[in-house]
Chain A
Amino acid sequence: AQTVTQSQPEMSVQEAETVTLSCTYDTSENNYYLFWYKQPPSRQMILVIRQEAYKQQNATENRFSVNFQKAAKSFSLKISDSQLGDTAMYFCAFMKTGTYKYIFGTGTRLKVLA
């Protein structure tokens, strides 16, 4: 069975600074996807970034980038130039290719301070 672990329940960062959220996972699968989702106070889940496991290049989406270490089963999210609107709960998720089922971590609550 796959597991996803987020060891930081809460984090805070000053506006315009950079913050890194950690995520580790455990799987025996070789083909899978990893995701970071954001859940703001509205509770609407929003996709932040996606990484295909077969790709060595780290995914980036504007201010968001990941550090994907497949051998270490690590998938951290870096948010650059943090904005107040980034305040939210962030979930790391695993999906075995072909299943379309997400396994979510426990989440990290990020607060961006003015």
Chain B
Amino acid sequence: GAVVSQHPSWVICKSGTSVKIECRSLDFQATTMFWYRQFPKQSLMLMATSNEGSKATYEQGVEKDKFLINHASLTLSTLTVTSAHPEDSSFYICSARVPGLAVSTDTQYFGPGTRLTVL
């Protein structure tokens, strides 16, 4: 099956610094990727939709300037948390859409997630 990887799997940074998280589709091309945030023992909340070659679409309440998303190629999307603060500490998960021949066969594959801890 399709594989999505994330790097790094775990990162600790100091408050005020920026952190970049990569999401890669390893064996397929993903025109659309999604970024989610998951707080401890809570659900996944969609942050933004990343489309290759165009600007990301952010969900209501998500700061565009704080969470920069770049979908530079059909296999790579990056999420940069700028000027990170302790409240940004969370688990960040990406998913990649594999278009199907029909909508009913569309599938999304999730990455293993990145745990961000801001001190």
- By a beta-carbon cutoff of 8 Å, the part of chain A in contact with chain B is 37, 42-47, 52, 91, 97-98, 100-107
Contact = CB atoms under 8 A, between A and B. Distances in A.
A68 to B, nearest CB: 15
A102 B44 CA distance: 9
A101 B34 contact: yes
A44 B110 contact: yes
Contacts of A42: 112
Nearest to B107: A47
Interface string B22-54: 000000000010100000001111100100000
Nearest to A97: B103
Interface of B: 32, 34, 42-46, 49, 91, 93, 95, 97, 103-104, 106-108, 110, 112-113
A46 B97 CA distance: 14
Contact of B104 (A45, A52, A107): A52
8 contacts: A43-B93, A43-B113, A44-B112, A45-B95, A100-B49, A100-B108, A104-B43, A107-B42
Given A101-B34, A102-B108, 11 more contacts: A42-B112, A43-B91, A45-B44, A97-B103, A100-B34, A100-B106, A102-B44, A102-B46, A104-B45, A106-B43, A107-B42
A105 B42 CA distance: 9
B49 A45 contact: no
Contact of B49 (A37, A46, A47, A101): A101
Given A44-B113, A101-B34, A91 B46 contact: no
Nearest to A92: B43
Nearest to A99: B49
Given A43-B113, A100-B32, A106 B42 contact: yes
Q: Which 4 A-B pairs have CB atoms at the shortest separation, nearest pair first?
A: A45-B110, A104-B43, A43-B113, A104-B44
A32 to B, nearest CB: 11
A101 B112 contact: no
A52 B32 CA distance: 21
